[in-house]
Structure 1
Amino acid sequence: MIRLTQFEFYKIITRKSIGIALSILIVFLVVYSFWRHPGIMDGSAFYKPYEGAITTEKVKVAHNQYDSIWDSTKGRYQYGALYDIVFFSPEAIKNSTRYDDHGNIMERTVNVSEIYYNKPWGYLLEYIDQFGVVFMMIMILLGLAPVFTEEYVLGTASLLRSSKRGKSKLVSAKCIASILYVVMCAVLFTGVNLVLYWLRFGNLAGADTSIQSVGMYVYSFDYEFSPYTFTAFQYYLVQLFTHIAGSLVFASIVLLVSVLSSTSFIAIITNTVIVGLPYLAFDVLNLNSGSLKWVEKFSISTMIRVTGLYQTPINYSLFGLNMSYLTLYIVVMAFITVSTILATYLIFHSREVFS
């Protein structure tokens, strides 16, 4: 079984399309990082004088200075520190109100009362939200869509299904190899991204600060109302494992479509429609989902993207049980994954081979 799995894994990673796509995507990531964020990125020295508790004196200084220092590049880093002080000051917190999708006032689980430099983690946490989801979708489609269709195209499906290691063992080997491939892609992308921003910033300061205080840009605190008490580093790991889990859910669907399709092209197009249309509509174009809100909330890309699962406290009532959005989403995705894997086994056992 181990040798069979190794063989299936080797078949996936040695496809020419994988090498070409991986090279292009990694080059794009590097170019994007240096082109989108040019110049000095380490602003820790500008935060140093203001680190610690947000006091009345710091708030006064921030109000007096931050409007006049935006013009210079260095001033923007100092502006960031001053903006954080004003944004998280007791007065600003008291006067700011946000509402959830049901019109209820959102409460803060964690109140930020101190500021520390943690901008590197803002960029590291953003990578999945902005680019990681696209990277994994492309790599999964190219790598896994041909897993079963290539057996039909080459005419080896009948032979494999009648062999000693056919049917269940073959499907198991393909599934395990697919899991290893997905994990490899996620870890590779994460590693490149981590090294890239460590080199850009020269540090990974702020790992032990709360995610509520982590901002990607000066004005963007995506986890301000998050109900979870993670530090930046803890959430980075949670985000990574959730990202991998979501990618595996998508991988299970790609395998099911592959076993149902006669060619890899058909499998890729079908899977692109399944996961790509909701992502394009709600995540890229930001269309108003309206009556299709459930499609946006429970689309596969939501879990691959991760951010929306941990940003705000959302609860659902299901058969009299109150469940958090994250819990319900995991239940739904687990059901989809188990169902698709079982269906893949059954279909490969029973269906007629494509001519």
Structure 2
Amino acid sequence: MYKHELYKIFTKKSLYITFFLIVLLLVFANRESILDWVMKDEIYDELYQTHGGPVTEELELMVREQMRASDAGEVSVDQATGDVQFLVAMSGLNLEQLEERKEFLASKIETLDQTTHQYLEATKELEMLKELGNPYGFYLIQAWTGMMDLIEPFFSVVLIAIMILLGLSPVFAEDHAQKTIGLVLATKHGKKSLVTSKILASITYIGVVFISLHFTNFLIQLNGYGGLHGWNAPMQSLVNYPSDYSMSPFNLNVRQFYFIMLMVQFIAGVAFGVLVLCLSNLTKNYLMTFFVSGSILGLPFILRQIGLDHGFFKTFNLFSYLEFIRIERLFDQFRTFSFFGQPILYPTYLIGVFGLVTILLLGVLYYRSKHQQVTT
């Protein structure tokens, strides 16, 4: 039954057409940035020899003097050199802000009662910041940032969501439309086996789509940049690529962060896929499932665009399928939520919440299947 469900999903021509169009979009979207890097790669390599690695006070002072001379017209610099000088100068400011934040937290902790949530939260943040050391500087991480571009931006999330919606919306609805559901439910153990087979086939499909998209993007970046340089750079060096992680408290290098993002996004994709399956079972209509699921995913984005991102709506947006899949705000700063008085990091809390939601949705699927009557 599992193989049959896989066959039903993977024989849909629309999935292959959509995937091909997405690959074309990836190639086109990366063409300009890769070409720009290739034209300047020798300059960047030379700059890395003198400006690369963690920022130091001496390097920051030298760069600021060079920037002053450039602004005064005393010397002229190319765009690549100017970008690197600005990045180094900003790294120095970020390091200063990090030290100020640690001093502020240390002073704040001394004034708080050790039994309060505020004390536990401040202590947790200070411990994480102390582990960072000096995470700021100039690193050659263009290929890694290109791979992460497929994970975070809203447009990229839409592409992944479309593949999930196209593949999974018909999973239950199609059986009802073709009136074949009764044949399966009439067999021994058919009800439970049907749901299990569809869930496993759907997770397999999500895995194949996920691996295919990210592997394709990996090949594009590898071919464009000639290698995966800077894999050991701190994740705080990811500034506006496409998100700013300069104030992130997580002690991870770029490679570790990338694989964590992949894992979290896959879990989020499976959670969203279970929602689509549940709606497909409830509505028994492919188009209804597609649009309702898509609306649930896109609602937080719409609310944010019309200014509803504070109070209740801010919390609602943070705990949404959209934020879970796009990951952007999970790791960009220190953010916790209270669980019986204990501060739990936002990514951990979000995964826990959607873990419970997904279990409930699976329970709904099995319950409806168990009590579904065979009709002719």
TM-score, normalised by the number of residues in structure 2 = 0.82
User: Following TM superposition, by how much is the alpha carbon of 1:193 offset from its aligned partner in structure 2, in angstroms?
Assistant: 0.9
* Alignment match, 1:23: 20
User: Following TM superposition, by how much is the alpha carbon of 1:160 offset from its aligned partner in structure 2, in angstroms?
Assistant: 0.9
Contact 1:12 1:147 (8 Å CA) reproduced = yes
* Alignment match, 1:191: 215
Measure the CA separation in 2 of the matches of 1:36 and 1:277. 31
Asked if 1:235 is matched to 2:257, the reply is yes
Given candidates 77, 87, 99, the residue that maps to 2:80 is 77
Given candidates 291, 312, 336, the residue that maps to 1:315 is 336
Measure the CA separation in 1 of the matches of 2:329 and 2:97. 25
Asked if 1:93 is matched to 2:91, the reply is no
Q: Which has the larger radius of gyration?
A: 2
Distance 1:270 1:323, change over 3 A: same
Distance 1:95 1:230, change over 3 A: closer
Measure the CA separation in 1 of the matches of 2:55 and 2:306. 35
* Alignment match, 1:251: 273
The worse-fitting range, judged by mean Cα deviation, of 132-141 and 58-67 is 58-67
Measure the CA separation in 1 of the matches of 2:374 and 2:91. 63
Measure the CA separation in 2 of the matches of 1:352 and 1:341. 19
User: Following TM superposition, by how much is the alpha carbon of 1:187 offset from its aligned partner in structure 2, in angstroms?
Assistant: 0.8
* Alignment match, 1:271: 293
Secondary structure at the aligned position of 2:329 is classed as helix
Distance 1:80 1:165, change over 3 A: farther
Contact 1:53 1:115 (8 Å CA) reproduced = yes
The one-letter amino acid paired with 1:45 is E
Contact 2:203 2:270 (8 Å CA) reproduced = yes
Measure the CA separation in 2 of the matches of 1:144 and 1:159. 21
Secondary structure at the aligned position of 1:316 is classed as strand
Contact 1:66 1:82 (8 Å CA) reproduced = yes
The count of aligned residue pairs is 340
Structure 2, unmatched stretches of 5+, are 72-76, 105-117
Distance 1:353 1:224, change over 3 A: farther
Secondary structure at the aligned position of 1:323 is classed as strand
The one-letter amino acid paired with 2:142 is K
The one-letter amino acid paired with 2:85 is L
User: Following TM superposition, by how much is the alpha carbon of 1:39 offset from its aligned partner in structure 2, in angstroms?
Assistant: 2.8
Give matches, 1:95-114, under 5 Å: 109=129, 110=132, 111-114=134-137
Contact 1:8 1:173 (8 Å CA) reproduced = yes
Secondary structure at the aligned position of 1:12 is classed as helix
Distance 1:269 1:211, change over 3 A: same
User: Following TM superposition, by how much is the alpha carbon of 1:113 offset from its aligned partner in structure 2, in angstroms?
Assistant: 4.9
Measure the CA separation in 2 of the matches of 1:193 and 1:80. 26
Contact 2:94 2:136 (8 Å CA) reproduced = no
* Alignment match, 2:174: 150
Asked if 1:141 is matched to 2:165, the reply is yes
Asked if 1:177 is matched to 2:201, the reply is yes
* Alignment match, 2:309: 289
Kindly provide the CA deviation profile for residues 161-207 of structure 1, in whole angstroms up to 9, marking residues without a partner as x. Answer: 11235111111011000001111111111101111111221221100
TM-score, normalised by the number of residues in structure 1 = 0.87
The worse-fitting range, judged by mean Cα deviation, of 15-24 and 122-131 is 122-131
Distance 1:92 1:229, change over 3 A: closer
Give matches, 1:198-217, under 5 Å: 198-216=222-240
Measure the CA separation in 1 of the matches of 2:45 and 2:339. 47
* Alignment match, 1:299: 320
Contact 1:119 1:214 (8 Å CA) reproduced = no
Asked if 1:125 is matched to 2:148, the reply is yes
Q: Percent identity?
A: 26
Contact 1:212 1:221 (8 Å CA) reproduced = no
Structure 1, unmatched stretches of 5+, are none
* Alignment match, 1:325: 346
Contact 1:179 1:248 (8 Å CA) reproduced = yes
